[in-house]
Amino acid sequence: MKPFLRWAGSKVQLIPTIKTYWQPQFKRYVEPFCGSAALFFSVQPQWAVLSDLNSELICTLAQIQIAPDIVSEVLSRMPTDERSYYRVRAQDPAHLSPNERAAQFIYLNALCFNGLYRTNGEGRFNVPYGSKKKSKLFDALELREASRLLNNALLEASDFQSIVDRTTLGDFIYLDPPYATGSKRIFNAYGKDLFTTKDLIRLTAALDRADNRGVRFVLSYADVPEIHDFKKKWTTCTVQARRNISGFTGSRRKVNEIIVTNCKGIDMSEST
Ligand SMILES: C[S@@+](CC[C@H](N)C(=O)[O-])C[C@H]1O[C@@H](n2cnc3c(N)ncnc32)[C@H](O)[C@@H]1O
């Protein structure tokens, strides 16, 4: 199943490769930078932990988990023209019911420019209306199916570190962090807090601790100098993907993505 949200940086193209590391005998699937959770919806694990720093996103997943049909009902009453978009965008999510809040998130995600999630300094969503017409705002059956798959997932709005630190032997972690890089050509602005090289250092330390507990992980990242430490510690392989430059779908180019893993027994013929 495809994710029901559009998400900048989603590794949809890498799913066939990353999926080869997942084994059904893993105890839990843990995704601390879940975004639209593309890999989760493809793997469909029995038990999962999905987490992201974006609390609006996690509230939306939680509402789809428990009440997909009510969210669909709210969405079905929302007009999709540009004026309505800016009216919906201006509503403070804190003043909406949980179902209205999830509907607002899905609505903005579907109609905004390139499905980006970007906020201003006060944390308010500020992406403009997308110029391309969307054929469908939402799919009620898809939301119901997402709800079924989310049924056994624990959802948490959190920084990655506490999630990774709570994993135990038998868990599998998939990590898809934003790119901590100075390059303006790489999109990494998901909210008011930028992911920086300091976060990458915290992530390396957390993965070191997880590795020592026998937890298996796969991390996907851009092939940038900042990933040097990961390359020294664990097995890596390079995969080619087409990427939007700075979040613009019009300027796509082929880039090298790196997969870093401590999973064993997998064919790493392209390993470096
Ligand atoms: C590249 S996206 C993940 C895309 C995801 N794999 C998918 O399938 O859509 C990176 C995600 O990391 C989240 N994020 C940024 N900083 C974070 C942090 N410190 N802890 C946890 N999540 C964070 C962003 O909100 C964003 O959703």
User: pLDDT tens digits for 222-258?
Assistant: 988 888 888 899 999 999 877 664 555 555 677 889 9
**Rg over CA atoms, the chain:** 18
For ligand 1, residues with CB inside 6 Å are 7, 9-11, 32-33, 35-38, 52-54, 159-160, 176-178, 190-191, 195, 199
pLDDT digits (tens, 9 = 90+) for 105-150: 999 999 999 889 999 888 899 999 997 777 789 999 999 999 999 9
The residue extents of the domains of the chain are 1-53+158-272, 55-151
Tell me, what's the pLDDT at 241? 79
What is the per-residue DSSP string for 122-179? Answer: TS-B-PPBPSSPPS-S--HHHHHHHHHHHTTEEEEE--HHHHHHT--TTEEEEE-PPP
What residue type is assigned to position 44 of the chain?
Q
Mean pLDDT lowest among 3-7, 64-68, 163-167, 251-255: 251-255
* 260: Cβ contacts below 8 Å, ≥ 6 apart: 218, 219, 220, 221, 227, 230, 231, 234, 235, 236
| Nearest protein CA to atom 3 of ligand 1, as residue | 35
**162 C-alpha vs ligand 1 centroid, how far in Å?**
14
SS3 236: strand
Q: What is the CATH number of domain 55-151?
A: 1.10.1020.10
The yes or no reply on domain 1-53+158-272 and CATH 3.40.50.150 is: yes
pLDDT at 211: 97
Residue among 82, 138, 78 nearest 109 (CA) = 138
pLDDT for the residue numbered 94: 94
- Look at residue 187 in the predicted model and tell me its pLDDT: 53
The stretch 14-24 carries a mean pLDDT of 94
End-to-end CA distance of the chain: 32
Residue to mutate (ligand 1; options 33, 43, 116; most atoms within 8 A of CB): 33
Q: Which helix (H) or strand (E) holds 249?
A: strand 248-261
Helix axes 98-111, 82-90, angle to 10 degrees: 140
Give the pLDDT confidence score for residue 201 in this predicted structure: 93
User: What spacing in Å lies between the alpha carbon of 77 and ligand 1's midpoint?
Assistant: 30
- Nearest residue (CA) to ligand 1, atom 12: 33
d(CA 177, CA 70): 32
**Has this prediction a pTM greater than 0.85?**
yes
